[in-house]
């Protein structure tokens, strides 16, 4: 006689498998909108733990779509961005973060290659050759270029102790600037934010350009209408702390804590930003 619990499991699986089979063609036709809807749902979630617990299922689902459509640039971009965000934001284990952000980077490069075949060997080129390939990209490549830069930043962040990873910074900056050249309106807040971080993640003595970085932070805040609280947190973390500007540091972080976190497209990262802002303020006396 079958175990009751085991029988119940099969009773659940049978209709589920039938449903998946019936929906297969529907899902294939819906993949173009799936990525956008999934991204929106995650970004507007105000409970980070829900995202932490639920995102792995979506990662596997996107992997499955890529297995069936390995040259779908849009799906590859969606997977790269979700893997990058999950690996950086929600994973504390260094080995897991390495695996996740490495996959994000691989998907990002695969997306760019699918969009523009001239970029397929981008990782193997000298810096001058790399820039030459970027010059031959066009507006249809913007999404994949942006994704590649985002995945690269996630990879660098999780490998910050590896100087080889840090040498990628000028290449990432070149990609972001190319995105701005091709379509200045595309994810403009995020592009300015990333450029700000890239210019201030290293102290001036090691190549950081804090004047340019501050301009990018201010521009990102302006473009978001101060709705993207993560910009102000990174402004305090990378710019104000490095320059030991306590007044700017505290003003930025107190503004983050006092702000309304629920903003369309920013809610998840605003919620996380407020937690980080409080942590930075709590450690300010010791730091400064």
> How would you write 227-254 as a 3-class SS string?
CCHHHHHHHHHHHHCCCCCHHHHHHHHH
Average pLDDT over residues 131-151: 97
Helices and strands in the chain: count of H runs, count of E runs: 14, 0
Rg (CA), the chain: 21
Tell whether 166 and 253 lie within a shared domain: no
pLDDT at 27: 43
Residue 85 forms part of a structural domain: yes
Domain extent, residue 55, equals 45-182
Domain boundary among 147, 182, 217: 182
Q: Quick one: tokens of 9?
A: 């499991």
Q: How far apart are CA 282 and CA 201, in angstroms?
A: 21
Tell whether 61 and 135 lie within a shared domain: yes
Residue 132's CB is within 10 A of a number of other CB atoms, namely: 12
Tell whether 97 and 224 lie within a shared domain: no
Residue 28 forms part of a structural domain: no
**Mean pLDDT, rounded, of the chain:** 87
Residue 156 forms part of a structural domain: yes
Residue 80 forms part of a structural domain: yes
Tell whether 150 and 195 lie within a shared domain: no
Span between the terminal Cα atoms of the chain, in Å: 70
pLDDT at 11: 41
Domain boundary among 129, 162, 182: 182
pLDDT at 202: 87
Q: What angle do CA 150, 156, 161 make, to 5 degrees?
A: 165
Tell whether 73 and 104 lie within a shared domain: yes
Number of domains into which the chain is organized:
2
Residue 8 forms part of a structural domain: no
Residue 23 forms part of a structural domain: no
Q: How far apart are CA 227 and CA 246, in angstroms?
A: 23
Q: pLDDT, tens digit, for every residue of 203-245? A: 888 889 999 999 999 999 999 999 999 999 999 999 999 999 9
Tell whether 169 and 67 lie within a shared domain: yes
Over 70: is that where the pLDDT of 5 sits?
A: no
The CATH number of the domain holding residue 244 is 1.25.40.920
Tell whether 163 and 191 lie within a shared domain: no
Tell whether 164 and 202 lie within a shared domain: no
Q: How far apart are CA 274 and CA 288, in angstroms?
A: 20
Residue 12 forms part of a structural domain: no
Tell whether 67 and 173 lie within a shared domain: yes
Domain boundary among 148, 165, 182: 182
Q: Is 5 exposed, middle or buried (0-12, 13-18, 19+ CB in 10 A)?
A: exposed
Q: Quick one: tokens of 60?
A: 């596997």
Residue 137 forms part of a structural domain: yes
Tell whether 178 and 192 lie within a shared domain: no
Tell whether 90 and 171 lie within a shared domain: yes
* Range from 16-30, 56-70, 76-90, 124-138 carrying the lowest mean pLDDT: 16-30
Tell whether 201 and 269 lie within a shared domain: yes
Q: pLDDT, tens digit, for every residue of 84-135? A: 999 998 999 999 999 999 999 999 999 999 999 999 999 999 999 999 999 9
Look up residue 72 and give its DSSP letter: -
Over 90: is that where the pLDDT of 18 sits?
A: no
């Amino acid at each position: 006689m079958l175990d009751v619990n085991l029988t119940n499991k099969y009773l659940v699986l049978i209709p589920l498998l039938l449903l998946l089979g019936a929906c297969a063609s529907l899902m294939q036709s819906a993949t173009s909108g799936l990525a956008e809807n999934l991204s929106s749902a995650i970004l507007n979630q105000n409970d980070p733990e829900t995202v932490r617990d639920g995102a792995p299922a979506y990662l596997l689902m996107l992997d499955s779509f890529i297995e069936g459509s390995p040259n779908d640039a849009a799906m590859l971009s969606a997977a790269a961005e979700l893997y990058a965000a999950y690996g950086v934001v929600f994973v504390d284990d260094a080995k897991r973060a390495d695996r996740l952000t490495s996959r994000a980077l691989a998907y990002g490069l695969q997306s760019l290659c699918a969009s523009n075949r001239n970029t397929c060997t981008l990782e193997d080129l000298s810096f001058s050759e790399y820039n030459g390939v970027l010059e031959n990209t066009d507006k249809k490549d913007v999404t994949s270029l942006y994704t590649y830069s985002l995945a690269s930043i996630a990879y660098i962040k999780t490998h910050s102790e590896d100087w080889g990873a840090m040498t990628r910074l000028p290449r990432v900056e070149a990609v972001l600037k190319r995105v701005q050249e091709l379509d200045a309106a595309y994810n403009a807040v995020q592009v300015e934010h990333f450029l700000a971080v890239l210019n201030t993640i290293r102290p001036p003595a090691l190549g950081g350009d804090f004047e340019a970085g501050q301009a990018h932070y201010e521009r990102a805040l302006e473009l978001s209408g101060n709705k993207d609280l993560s910009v102000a947190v990174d402004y305090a973390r990378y710019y104000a702390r490095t320059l030991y500007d306590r007044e700017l540091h505290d003003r930025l972080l107190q503004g983050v804590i006092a702000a309304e976190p629920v903003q369309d497209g920013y809610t998840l990262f605003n919620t996380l930003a407020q937690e980080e802002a409080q942590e930075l303020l709590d450690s300010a006396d010791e730091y400064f």
